[in-house]
Amino acid sequence: MLSDIQEVLYDEGKLQAKVKELGEQLSRDFEGRNPLVICVLKGAFIFMSDLVKTMTIPLEIDFMAVSSYGQSTKSSGVVKIIKDLDTSVEGRDVLIVEDIIDSGLTLSYLIDVLERRNAKSVTVATLFDKPARRTVDLQADYTGFTLPDEFVVGYGLDFAEKYRNLPFIGILKPEVYEK
C-alpha cells in the first residue's frame, strides 16, 4: 500500500497540528452554541474524530452519507442521501465537517438541504480544499490545507475505497489509478 504513494504531502504530525489549530478556533467560535457537528461519510470520518477530540466545548455529533448518481458522475450535480441524520437540525447551529472540497457539488447540496430544514446556521469546516476543481461558487468557512490538483489519498480519502487508513495524505502514483 505504501509503495503506491508517490509523495507524502502532509505527514501525521502536520495533519494533527492543523486539526488541533482548527479545533481550538472552532471551540472559541462555537462557545455556548452547542453545535451539531455533522460528519460527511465516509471521507470525513478520521478528520471528524480527531477534530472533536480537540474541541473543548459541549457539542453533539451526527453522521450523514451522500452519493452522487445519474451518469455515475458528479458533474450532474445530483446528490442522493444514503444515510440521513438522526437529529433534527431545526434551530441548531450546524457544523459540517468534510475531508475535501473538490467541485463543491456535495457541499452545496448539503448546505441547501440543511438550510431548507431550518438550521439556525450552517458552517463548513474542511481539512482540504482543491479550488482548481470547483464548478460551483462555494468556499468553506474553515479550511486546513489547499491542495494542488493531484490525486490524493489517505486520512479518510480513498481511491476505489482504499487508502483511507493512511495516517498521512499523499499523492497516488498515476500507474495505480491508470491501471
Interface residue list for ligand PRP (CB under 6 A): 40, 42-43, 74, 98-106, 158
As measured in angstroms, the least distance from the Cβ of 42 to ligand PRP is 4
- Residue 153's beta-bridge partner residues? 170
Show contacts of 109-115: CB within 8 Å, 24+ apart. Answer: 109/66, 109/77, 109/79, 110/40, 110/64, 110/66, 110/79, 111/138, 113/81, 114/38, 114/89
Residue closer to Mg ion, measured from CB, 106 or 123: 106
Residue 143 interface partner, choices Mg ion, Mn ion, ligand PRP, none, CB cut-off 5-8 Å depending on type: none
Q: Which stretch binds Mg ion (CB under 5 A): 61-69, 75-83, 116-124, 152-160?
A: 152-160
Compute, in degrees rounded to 10, the torsion defined by CA atoms 131, 134, 137, 142: -40
Cis ω before 80 (30° cut-off from 0): no
Binding residues vs Mn ion (CB under 5 A): 43
Q: How many CA atoms lie within 13 A of 153 on its CB side?
A: 20
CB of 109 vs ligand PRP, minimal distance in Å: 8
* Residue for grid cell 498521512: 168
Nearest residue (CB) to ligand PRP, 43 versus 144:
43
For residue 164, the minimal CB distance to Mn ion (Å) is: 10
Active site (annotated) includes residue 141: no
Give Cα separations from 75 to 44, 71, 102, 175 (angstroms): 21, 9, 11, 25
Closest residue by beta carbon to ligand PRP: 43
Q: Indicate the residue among 58 and 85 with the shorter CB distance to ligand PRP.
A: 85
Active-site annotation holder among 11, 102, 112, 149: 102
Q: How many CB atoms lie within 10 A of CB 151?
A: 15
Span interacting with Mg ion, options 48-56, 126-134, 153-161, 164-172, rule CB under 5 A: 153-161
Which residues are catalytic, by number? 102
Binding stretches for Mg ion (CB under 5 A): 158
